[in-house]
Amino acid sequence: MITVENLTKRYGSFTAVDDISFEVTPGSVVGFLGPNGAGKSTAMRMMTGLTPPTSGRTLILGRAYRDLPNPARQVGVMLDAAAQHPGRTGREVLHLVGMTIGVPKDRVERSLEMVGLTSEEAKRRVRNYSLGMRQRLGLAGALMGDPQVLILDEPANGLDPQGIHWMRQLLRAYADQGGTVLLSSHLLHEVQIIADDLVMIGRGRIVARGSKAALLGAQGTRANSLDNDALAVAARAAGLEVSGDRNGLLIKATPEQVGRLALEARVVLTDLHTTGSEALEDLFLSLTAPDARDHVAA
């Protein structure tokens, strides 16, 4: 269980994280999303005791991170997979973690196996690891204590499609067994597949929070027809919000409502479905576009 309460971080006159609150419950994966510079990493550093908050607090398993007895046995943290000694082998890195937190030596091999690093790869110096291998090693370190909670910043960064699929399965299985997972990622499609709940942040403030089903369901229905102009006119006349793009019309209504509307307007539908893989990207861009680095004011 992670409970974030009114968490705020200021650097002089600049507010990096502005009064955010949310929960991550056992058995769930929560996607923590936002543009670059939105405050995600700063928030995660405050949650794990690396950066002191200006105000507010985070409780993990009912305590502040610094008050947990041997916190790495309860909370697995990966905030920067590159923060590993380049001259050590992967196995040496994990042995040092194990010695520090007091776990049996066989936990090293188990963690290597869990993240898919072979015995041969574990013998290599970290300086010779690819980015994807460093990500796997970082996750292995987070798992060394067999924790109840995982806090991961961009865990899929540098992984190939096979590696992303593997990580998705690993984290989903971890949550299904009662674990608590908070992860940030810029891979929106992967977050959409794995996450139960979403927290979106822009300029340090939460702009959306809730279950994935509720947030994405509110995006509406995708529709195409033999006469999209007529369908759009009929939808607007019925008081529905309509927008259009290369994928057709997006109508803020259920598929049944759109189907009945098309029937009444005598428009032949060629495609009708709830928003799919584009839904999270649409929601993300609509809520965070003013906060994105590449946003240009009109």
Q: 88-102, 233-247, 256-270: which has the minimum mean pLDDT? A: 233-247
| pLDDT at site 297 | 43
Residue 127 CA to chain centroid, in angstroms?
Answer: 28
pTM, rounded to two decimals = 0.79
The count of other CB atoms within 10 Å of the CB of residue 54 is: 15
The strand pairing partners of 283, in sequence order, are none
Please say if the pLDDT value at position 238 is more than 50.
yes
Using a 10 angstrom Cβ sphere, with 0-12 exposed, 13-18 middle and 19 or more buried, the burial of residue 293 is exposed
User: What's the whole-number average pLDDT of the chain?
Assistant: 88
Look at residues 77, 85, 207 and name the one whose alpha carbon lies nearest to residue 153: 77
Look at residues 136, 120, 124, 154 and name the one whose alpha carbon lies nearest to residue 32: 154
Q: pLDDT of 179-198, one tens digit each?
A: 999 999 877 777 888 899 99
Q: pLDDT of 35-82, one tens digit each?
A: 888 899 999 999 999 999 999 999 999 999 999 999 999 999 999 877
| pLDDT at site 289 | 62
Please say if the pLDDT value at position 292 is more than 60.
no
What is d(CA 288, CA 295) in angstroms, rounded to the nearest whole number?
10
| % residues pLDDT > 90 (the chain) | 64
Question: Which of 281 and 224 is assigned the larger pLDDT?
Answer: 224
| pLDDT at site 146 | 93
Residue 296 — very low, low, confident or very high, per pLDDT cuts 50/70/90? very low
| pLDDT at site 35 | 84
Q: Is 279 helix (H, G, I), strand (E, B) or coil?
A: helix
The count of other CB atoms within 10 Å of the CB of residue 239 is: 8
| pLDDT at site 185 | 83
User: Which residues belong to CATH 3.40.50.300 in the chain?
Assistant: 2-212
Q: Which CATH class is domain 2-212?
A: alpha beta
The mean pLDDT value for 12-35 works out to 94
